């Protein structure tokens, strides 16, 4: 929502959105924060206003010493109690309450990130908002609670001070009210300018952070030393800083003149000049105010002025905070397009067939068509290879089968039932998959294979899966075996695996997970051709009766497939066994012959 359209009602709703987290998960912390903030200002009002007026008036009108001492003693006792509460709040209540809220809102963000449509990650705006939300969530909690604390304090000051003015000198309120209204208008204008400046700077800062990563991450170290592209990045870094400086300079001029007008004309001139003159005149010339009243009215006017002035800043801060909460809410409240039916069917335990009917897909309503009327089926135990040049739609096809996306038209049926009729998570759990861009996690080797909560009963299963994937020799060299930590992120004794070793661990997940179907999207691309051939051969043999769909740019293993699908421009243009396609002498034969010299030894051609 645009800043100039952000209504006061929306500001309240957005700040209340964060407050609900506090009241739901840490009610005592929120209540204690509000009450303690009020108590602090009541203490200051009694100490600096009521007590001072009482002492001055006692001297002027001759009140007895015992009476004065009694009231001073009560005030000291009240202040001591406040100090005890202060220690309890800052040492216990606040740290526990904040940490609990941080945990809850981050868990909601992570759960949303896991459940959101994968297609959202293809949208750079959405992805940037998610990264921003995940990094900024705790700041929104801190800002909202701090604003509520400040609001309680300011409201308490305003109520006590206005009550005092109404009791002693009503006319003084007009001075404060005039200053408050004028300052509020200027502050809201200034805040919108500040927000626009930060949004412009954030866009530039993302580029600066990217450039920063290039120079300190090991991933880019070799290329930056071997090529002169580093000069481009030095220029980009310098240009980005110049652009950020220009944005700050442009916005700062407007903020300067607005702040000058607010501070000089609407604060100092009205309250520090005109009202002080008025109070001195009423006390010394007309004699309608006692000395105690005059001193405490001036003191109260400064307190009321400060809090009225701060209230304008606070409202602006809440408005600015609301603009950022809006991003957080938009992410958390976004509805998925990938949905489940109300009463999903249980996923079958036996595989009788998977069929794709007139399947088409495009990214978004206006995106290019990736797949066009794809039709094929796979039978129990059948091994299908999907081949084609980059951009043919092979990976998109596997993502539709796993229901990471929904087809734009057509359908996919498992055992004759459309896959969108099954419970989404259960359906995905029935598919084993390994991708070229697989990821290993900072966890034990066992956990990286099982990909779930590991139990001691899984140990044999994990070892067997790693043996089948070709990782057995490496496993024997590990002192801690399957309990070895992958990466040194949190364990200095952890191991850093090569690309080929990491792929073997990822492939082991296929053997450790009893599923209906196996999908392999170039999982062995980091291996040399000979190792890839033998690994795929083992995988096809060890998969037992489970059907396999595998994608590969290397055609050394396609002869092992029962059927090969040749894709081009989102369509299946050829299909059949290796021998059948070679006899057709079409696109597949052309691709295979281009690679034949490399794989002649491997495939025995």
In a domain, 521, yes or no: yes
pLDDT tens sequence across 309-336: 787 778 878 888 888 888 888 778 877 7
In a domain, 11, yes or no: yes
CA proximity to 387, closest of 537, 528, 586, 604: 586
451 falls in which pLDDT band (50, 70, 90)? confident
Domain of residue 374, CATH code: 3.40.50.300
Report the pLDDT value the prediction gives residue 4, as an integer from 0 to 100.
45
Both 12 and 71 in one domain: the answer is: yes
Report the pLDDT value the prediction gives residue 418, as an integer from 0 to 100.
94
pLDDT tens sequence across 385-410: 999 888 888 888 988 999 988 998 99
Where a domain ends, among 494, 509, 524?
509
- Tokens 């067939």 belong to residue: 353
Residue 76 has pLDDT above 80, yes or no: yes
Both 85 and 114 in one domain: the answer is: yes
Both 94 and 149 in one domain: the answer is: yes
Where a domain ends, among 483, 509, 535?
509
Residue 161 has pLDDT above 50, yes or no: yes
CA proximity to 558, closest of 505, 515, 596: 596
In whole angstroms, give the CA distance from residue 5 to residue 1. Answer: 7
Mean pLDDT of 213-222: 76
Report the pLDDT value the prediction gives residue 457, as an integer from 0 to 100.
61
User: What percent of the chain has pLDDT above 70?
Assistant: 92
In a domain, 333, yes or no: no
In a domain, 330, yes or no: no
In whole angstroms, give the CA distance from residue 79 to residue 85. Answer: 10
Both 496 and 357 in one domain: the answer is: no
Higher pLDDT, 155 or 248: 155
Report the pLDDT value the prediction gives residue 191, as an integer from 0 to 100.
79
53 falls in which pLDDT band (50, 70, 90)? confident
Report the pLDDT value the prediction gives residue 527, as an integer from 0 to 100.
63
* Burial classification of residue 125, based on how many CB atoms lie within 10 Å of its CB (0-12 exposed, 13-18 middle, 19 or more buried): exposed
Strand partners, 411: 357
Both 178 and 33 in one domain: the answer is: no
In a domain, 305, yes or no: no
Mean pLDDT of 122-133: 70
| Helix-helix angle 8-25:124-168, to 10 degrees | 100
Report the pLDDT value the prediction gives residue 305, as an integer from 0 to 100.
76
Residue 2 has pLDDT above 70, yes or no: no
Both 139 and 189 in one domain: the answer is: no
Residue 124 has pLDDT above 80, yes or no: no
| Helix-helix angle 124-168:291-333, to 10 degrees | 160
First-to-last C-alpha distance (Å) of the chain: 64
Where a domain ends, among 168, 201, 222?
168
Asked if residue 351 lies in contact with residue 395, where contact means CB atoms within 8 angstroms, the answer is: no
Phi/psi of residue 183, each to 5°? Answer: -65, -35
92 falls in which pLDDT band (50, 70, 90)? confident
Report the pLDDT value the prediction gives residue 597, as an integer from 0 to 100.
56
Both 162 and 187 in one domain: the answer is: no
Report the pLDDT value the prediction gives residue 421, as an integer from 0 to 100.
94
In a domain, 403, yes or no: yes
Sign of CA dihedral 463, 464, 467, 473: positive
CA proximity to 37, closest of 101, 99, 85, 78: 85
Both 19 and 142 in one domain: the answer is: yes
Higher pLDDT, 578 or 366: 578
In whole angstroms, give the CA distance from residue 459 to residue 31. Answer: 49
Both 222 and 83 in one domain: the answer is: no
Longest CA–CA span in the chain (Å) reads 120
User: Would you state the structure tokens that stand for residue 525, as one six-digit string?
Assistant: 């691309």
Sign of CA dihedral 393, 399, 403, 404: negative
Both 410 and 534 in one domain: the answer is: yes
528 falls in which pLDDT band (50, 70, 90)? low
In whole angstroms, give the CA distance from residue 355 to residue 382. Answer: 13
Look over the chain and give the mean of its residue pLDDT values, rounded to a whole number: 83
Strand partners, 568: 571
Both 34 and 154 in one domain: the answer is: yes
Phi/psi of residue 82, each to 5°? Answer: -65, -35
Both 91 and 148 in one domain: the answer is: yes
User: Would you state the structure tokens that stand for residue 347, as one six-digit string?
Assistant: 């996923």
**Full residue range of the structural domain in which residue 449 is found:** 441-509
Residue 366 has pLDDT above 70, yes or no: yes
Report how many domains make up the chain.
4
pLDDT tens sequence across 488-519: 888 888 888 887 788 888 888 888 877 889 88
In a domain, 334, yes or no: no
In a domain, 325, yes or no: no
User: What does the angle CA 174 – CA 175 – CA 177 come to, to the nearest 5 degrees?
Assistant: 65
Higher pLDDT, 373 or 178: 373
Give one DSSP letter per residue of 482-515, joined into a string: GGPBBSSSS-TT-B---HHHHHHHHHHHHHHS--
Report the pLDDT value the prediction gives residue 3, as an integer from 0 to 100.
43
Highest mean pLDDT among 136-145, 173-182, 583-592: 583-592
Residue 281 has pLDDT above 80, yes or no: yes
Report the pLDDT value the prediction gives residue 603, as an integer from 0 to 100.
45
User: Would you state the structure tokens that stand for residue 567, as one six-digit string?
Assistant: 């894709």
561 falls in which pLDDT band (50, 70, 90)? confident
Does the pTM surpass 0.75? The reply is no
Report the pLDDT value the prediction gives residue 159, as an integer from 0 to 100.
92
């Amino acid at each position: 929502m645009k800043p100039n359209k952000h209504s006061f009602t929306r500001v309240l709703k957005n700040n209340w959105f964060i407050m609900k987290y506090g009241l739901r998960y840490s009610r005592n912390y929120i209540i204690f924060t509000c009450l303690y903030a009020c108590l602090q200002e009541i203490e200051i009002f009694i100490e600096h206003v009521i007590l001072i007026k009482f002492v001055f008036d006692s001297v002027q009108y001759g009140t007895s010493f015992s009476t004065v001492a009694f009231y001073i003693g009560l005030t000291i006792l009240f202040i001591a109690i406040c100090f005890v509460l202060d220690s309890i709040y800052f040492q216990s209540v606040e740290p526990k309450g904040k940490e609990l809220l941080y945990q809850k809102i981050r868990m909601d963000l992570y759960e949303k990130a896991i459940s959101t449509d994968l297609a959202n990650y293809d949208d750079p705006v959405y992805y940037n908002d998610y990264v921003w939300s995940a990094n900024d969530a705790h700041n929104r909690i801190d800002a909202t609670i701090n604003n509520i604390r400040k609001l309680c304090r300011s409201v308490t000051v305003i109520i006590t001070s206005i009550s005092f003015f109404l009791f002693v000198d009503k006319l003084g309120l007009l001075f404060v009210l005039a200053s408050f209204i004028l300052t509020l208008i200027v502050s809201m204008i200034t805040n919108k300018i500040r927000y626009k400046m930060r949004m412009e700077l954030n866009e530039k800062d993302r580029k600066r952070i990217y450039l920063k990563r290039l120079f300190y991450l090991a991933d880019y170290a070799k290329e930056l030393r071997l090529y002169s592209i580093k000069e481009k990045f030095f220029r980009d870094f310098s240009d980005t800083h110049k652009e950020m400086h220009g944005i700050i300079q442009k916005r700062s001029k407007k903020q300067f003149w607005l702040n000058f007008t607010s501070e000089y004309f609407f604060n100092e001139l009205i309250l520090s000049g005109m009202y002080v003159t008025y109070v001195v005149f009423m006390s010394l010339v007309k004699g309608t105010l006692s000395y105690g009243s005059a001193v405490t009215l001036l003191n109260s006017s400064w307190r009321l002025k400060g809090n009225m002035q701060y209230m304008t800043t606070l409202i602006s801060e809440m408005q600015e905070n609301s603009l950022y909460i809006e991003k957080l809410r938009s992410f958390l409240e976004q509805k998925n397009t990938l949905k489940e039916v109300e009463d999903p069917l249980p996923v079958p335990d036996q595989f009788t067939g998977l069929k794709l009917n007139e399947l088409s897909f495009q990214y978004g309503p206006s995106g290019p068509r990736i797949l066009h009327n794809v039709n094929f089926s796979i039978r129990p135990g059948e091994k299908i290879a999907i081949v084609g040049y980059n951009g043919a739609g092979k990976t998109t096809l596997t993502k539709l089968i796993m229901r990471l996306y929904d087809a734009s038209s057509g359908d996919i049926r498992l055992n004759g039932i459309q896959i969108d009729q099954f419970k989404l998570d259960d359906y995905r759990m029935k598919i084993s998959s390994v991708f070229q861009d697989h990821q290993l996690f900072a966890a034990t080797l066992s956990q990286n294979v099982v990909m779930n909560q590991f139990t001691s009963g899984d140990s044999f299963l994990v070892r067997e899966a790693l043996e089948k994937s070709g990782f057995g020799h490496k496993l024997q060299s590990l002192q801690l075996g399957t309990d070895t930590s992958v990466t040194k992120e949190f364990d200095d004794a952890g191991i850093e695996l090569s690309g080929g070793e990491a792929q073997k661990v990822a492939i082991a997940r296929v053997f450790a997970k009893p599923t209906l179907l196996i999908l392999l999207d170039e999982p062995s691309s980091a291996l040399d051709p000979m190792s890839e051939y033998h690994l795929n051969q083992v995988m096809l043999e060890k998969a037992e009766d489970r059907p396999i769909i595998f994608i590969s740019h290397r055609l050394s293993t396609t002869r092992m497939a029962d059927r090969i699908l040749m894709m081009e421009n989102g369509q299946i243009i050829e299909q059949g066994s290796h021998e059948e396609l070679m006899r057709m002498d079409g696109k597949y034969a052309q691709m295979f012959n281009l690679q034949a010299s490399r794989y002649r030894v491997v495939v025995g051609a």
